Amino acid sequence: MQNNSIVGAGGAGFPSYGKLADGADTLVINCAECEPLMYTDYMLMREEMSRIVEGAQLVMQATGIQHTYISIKEHRAVMLGYTDGQILGENVSVKLLPNVYPMGDEINLIYETTGRLVKPGNLPITAGVIVYNGETVYNIRAAVKENRPVTEKWLTVGGDIPERYVVKVPVGMKVSEIFEKLGVKVAPNQVMFDGGPSMGKLKDPAMSTVVKTTKSVLIVPDNIPCVVHKQVSMDDMLRRAASCCCGCVRCTELCPRHLLGYPLEPHKMIRAALTNAVVDNPELIKTASLCCSCGVCAEAACCQDISPKDVILHLKGILAKNKMRFSAGSEDYHPHADRPYHMIPSERWEDILGVRKFDVLPKFIPEKLTASKVEILMSQHIGAPSVPAVKEGETVTEGQLIANAGAGLSVPQYASISGKVTFVDSAKIVIEA
């Protein structure tokens, strides 16, 4: 996996080889695709499910894992024709998830799929589980069976545009060139999300490139709730938190991690926003590390336009600087009895964000788009950056090694197109066809 540059295709980009450890008996393939408007995993399952299954079986063979669940939200499973418990291959079956947000959160996913609760602050392996995205195991199969490194990306191009697409593109392709080839235009009153409208980031399409973790680029109006809330500065949000909170605790009551029994209470984070919390109440602040940044507290809970998620992100930064995080003790944790009644239905979540009318099944383009230029970033993954192994002026071919893995947790990088290297520094390598 490391040699073929495989990282998590649906999250932060954790190098996939780093998840392999003794003690796992269950593999969970995350095909929940909980963010609205995204159909990347859906289309990958529709077109390449046999390869996803084969990739999962290769992981099981390498690790001794006994069973794989391919976890899919119920409404997407219906569209694909899958049923709960359906056998897709030897020791591989379908697990239907409830149509609620955020089912793609690793901790919620593991609980709904296996009934196991990962202790707060612990990794899934402590519960005997490894989690991979569907595209990740698809890439693992390509690496093992074809010795093919990761040089392409599946992604959704969707949102408020006349035609939506799922396409395959070279890693490092400019988003602006993708839009040009598809005939997609961004209007003056529109913005672009890299990722979903809940947890994605607003990006400039003229400057953005596709990385290994890119699952979608979504164009939406600039006046819908999910955009307006993301445009508030952190300083303004902290002031708002300190002055406007009414103490209703609804953010905590709806927090998906809190509902699982985690000691995460966003309303208390709001109260600590402008205090010297690391000194005054360090045990409280440590629980900020348990937040998955789903945004439920901000978009669905708060009636004062406060984003507890952003306040918690601020506190996470303080924790990182002080090298602090929450660690569970010997106590047991259990989901709240009323959890099923506090979870947010997927369609309701789309309404809250203001994107439901843009949720349209996209067109799949099977031929990979061609790029005139790619920018291969050295930090597309968690861990040490890759180290360039080519120089300006060199000619490279698609699939050729162009950067070695860095020291420690890291992966190498490969050319995603054939062409000439026109720029190299410690941050990126540019190849022109």
CA 227 to chain centre: 18
- Give me the average pLDDT of each 10-residue run along the chain (433 residues): 85 88 94 95 98 97 95 97 97 98 96 97 95 96 95 98 98 98 96 96 96 97 94 86 87 97 93 70 89 95 91 89 87 94 96 97 98 97 96 98 96 98 98 97
How much is the pLDDT for 281?
79
Tally the C-alpha atoms within 13 A of residue 299's C-alpha that lie toward its C-beta: 25
414-431 pLDDT tens trace: 999 999 999 999 999 999
CA-based Rg of the chain, rounded to a whole angstrom? 21
pTM of the model: 0.95
The alpha carbon torsion through 257, 262, 266, 267 (nearest 10 deg) reads: 130
Distance CA 13, CA 413 (A): 13
How much is the pLDDT for 11?
78
Distance CA 388, CA 404 (A): 6
Determine the residue type at 270. I
How much is the pLDDT for 372?
98
The residues pairing with 67 across neighbouring beta strands, listed in sequence order, are 26
Residue 168 phi/psi, 5-degree rounding, is -110, 130
The alpha carbon torsion through 357, 361, 365, 370 (nearest 10 deg) reads: 30
Do residues 315 and 277 lie in contact, with contact meaning Cβ atoms separated by under 8 Å? yes
How much is the pLDDT for 274?
66
How much is the pLDDT for 369?
98
Determine the residue type at 47. E
How much is the pLDDT for 390?
98
How much is the pLDDT for 276?
67
Distance CA 305, CA 240 (A): 8
Q: Is the omega angle on the peptide bond into residue 102 within 30 degrees of 0, that is, cis?
A: yes
